Amino acid sequence: MKTYILVGQPNSGKTTLYNWLTGSNYKTVNYPGSTIEYYIGKAKNQNIQFVDTPGTYSLMPRSPDEKVTYEILFESKICSDFEVLLVVDGLQLERQLILAKQLKESLIPFQIIVTMGDLIKSQGQVIKTQEMSDYFKCTVTEFNGQSGLGLDAIIKKLNQESVKCESKKIQWTFLDFQRAKSDIGLQINKWVEGHATKSAIERTRKIDKWLLGPFGLVIFFGIMTLLFSSLFWFSSPFSDGIESFFNLIGGRLETQFPDSFWAEFLSKGLMSSFSAVLVFVPQILFLFLGLGFLESSGYLPRAAALIDHPMKKIGLGGRSFVPLLSGFACAVPAIMATRNISSARDRWVTLFIIPLMSCSARLPVYGLLLSFLYPDKSFLKGLSMAVIYLMAMVIGGLASYVLSTFLPSNKDHFFMMELPIYRKPKWGLLVRQALSKTKSYVLRAGPIIICLAVVLWFALQFPRIENKAPNLGDSYAGQLGQFMEPVFKPMGVDWRVGVGLITAFAAREVFVSSMAVTFKVTEDESKQESELLSAMNQAKWDDGKPIFTWGSVLGLIFFFMVALQCMTTVAMQIRESGSGKFAWGQVVIFNLIAYIGAVAINQTYSFLFQ
């Protein structure tokens, strides 16, 4: 099978072209360095495969993501018979075509694809592909990533026959760069017809005067607060709808089969577990939509530049911002995004603090606990959610500061980030990508929720006494929970919450479904108490004091903010840091701090207010 490798500088449009060629729906965003791993996809009805690679400025790699591209081209990481599709930004030809010179010297066969056709046209210019083709002795095609114009021409020029590629590594000096740049500089006027009547960058500069001006940091914090607060505000009606739907189905099942073990299992075990987690899916969808909007508009690299100076105070740089922000969606891609950080020291510190960023799996937990603290006050819930996210950043900042003081500083790190042109996000694509991520979230968490709900339900229903469920304390789950209760009691929670905390190590959101199962079973004598929140409100210790107080709930929130419970994250940390000690050390440190913090918060509250 013939392989085409898409190579180009960061943000030149490789992933957009890859999506058009393969019919994929990979994330295309408007900031440099978004692709950090390679992807392979096949063309429809053709014996051709395409490889999307991380952006590289030259064929001599300087960062881990550039090394990925280098290994594909020079160390036959995928195959040895390939051709390169060099993707160059039409607005940056003079600089980006230096890669064409390097490919030529490396003896790698290539074609050139010139992107950003819409912006070139808007500047009143025309690219003369034939002249460029004559100079480089290769095929040159223009392509518009927005409309797909030029795709047919690219496909027509693809050769299905494999050609052995005998690539040769190169090492350029300053002089070589200078020579290549001046050669291309001499030709550029032959390749681009017409003078730019208006610069495509002009509008961007005007917007930047505001967004990066004296109030830039205020606007930045405003945008972040709005993003995280709005999760509650926008999603409330959808969450209410989902909850009503499940209540309706569950109620009907129990009315239809009043004494059935299986109907009760379906209604109070399985469906309440699902309902407890699914009501938070709209919030997760809005989180992905918000992050997607920031990514595709071109604001993210600006935010990284704005935050660079404050981040230096905690021992990091602006390049750590995008991985850390991605960590609010999921730690796994965020850990991979650290490959874009040139400094090894900054990369280690960023890897260390990413799990502290509140990922989407924590959202259902915070949602439940905040609903307990502020029943029917979605404005306060929204603001508190923003405070939780801010606190996660503060804790991450403190951890980074402490860690940075122990690690030697290095001089080789740089920020140097190209700022892309602002572009209107494509809402259709944004919604599709957010829906696809939300779907994969549900599919990932769903099986775990079902398995644990089944196990927990049976652990609560057995051993059977005269064919009836035992008292809660006598069930297997109850016996185990009571055995472990001394560990959880200082946090101000009983064994039922303890069971939830243990099951959360499978997936954080399982905490909510576990609570739904254990508390609904406990209080199933009364219909009014079937709601998890009212069950939590009514839960009491033996001496009649409430279990859920501000102290214990704030302690739980702190526990979830800090604890490292996600095993996929641990596996990814081992892979990216190359150190099991680093990853397992994190598990021990974070979970210990989370536990001690939760105990301290609860005990302080009890001392002051009870």
Q: Which residues here bind other proteins, judged by CB under 8 A?
A: 57-58, 60, 62, 91-92, 94-95, 98, 174, 177-178, 181, 201, 204-205, 208-209, 212-217, 301-302, 305-306, 308-310, 318, 342, 411-419, 421
* Cα dihedral value 135, 138, 142, 148, nearest 10: -170
Smallest separation (angstroms) from other proteins to the CB of 57: 4
Please say which residue, 414 or 427, places its beta carbon nearer to other proteins.
414
Please say which residue, 112 or 460, places its beta carbon nearer to other proteins.
112
Smallest separation (angstroms) from other proteins to the CB of 317: 8
Query: H or E element: which one contains 570?
Result: helix 567-577
Could you tell me the CA-to-CA distances from 312 to 316, 341, 401, 583 in Å, in that order?
A: 5, 14, 9, 25
Please say which residue, 91 or 554, places its beta carbon nearer to other proteins.
91
End-to-end C-alpha distance for the chain, whole angstroms: 73
State the sign of the Cα–Cα–Cα–Cα dihedral 121, 124, 127, 128: positive
Smallest separation (angstroms) from other proteins to the CB of 172: 9
Phi, psi of 84 (to 5 degrees): -100, 140
Please say which residue, 58 or 378, places its beta carbon nearer to other proteins.
58
SS3 14: helix
Please say which residue, 217 or 454, places its beta carbon nearer to other proteins.
217
Please say which residue, 301 or 597, places its beta carbon nearer to other proteins.
301
Smallest separation (angstroms) from other proteins to the CB of 143: 18
Smallest separation (angstroms) from other proteins to the CB of 200: 9
Determine the distance from the C-alpha atom of residue 257 to the mean position of all C-alpha atoms in its chain, rounded to a whole number. Answer: 43
Q: Which of 232, 214, 194 is nearest to 377 (CA)?
A: 232
Smallest separation (angstroms) from other proteins to the CB of 88: 12
Smallest separation (angstroms) from other proteins to the CB of 582: 24
| Complete DSSP assignment for 205-241 | HHHHHHHTSTTHHHHHHHHHHHHHHHHHHHHHHHHHH
Please say which residue, 204 or 272, places its beta carbon nearer to other proteins.
204
Phi, psi of 83 (to 5 degrees): -130, 150
Smallest separation (angstroms) from other proteins to the CB of 559: 35
Smallest separation (angstroms) from other proteins to the CB of 2: 30
| Complete DSSP assignment for 527-562 | GGGGSHHHHHHH-B-TTS-BS--HHHHHHHHHHHHH
Please say which residue, 290 or 301, places its beta carbon nearer to other proteins.
301
CA pair distance 546, 532, nearest whole angstrom: 15
Please say which residue, 221 or 427, places its beta carbon nearer to other proteins.
221
CA pair distance 228, 359, nearest whole angstrom: 12
Q: Which of 560, 582, 565, 561 is nearest to 573 (CA)?
A: 582
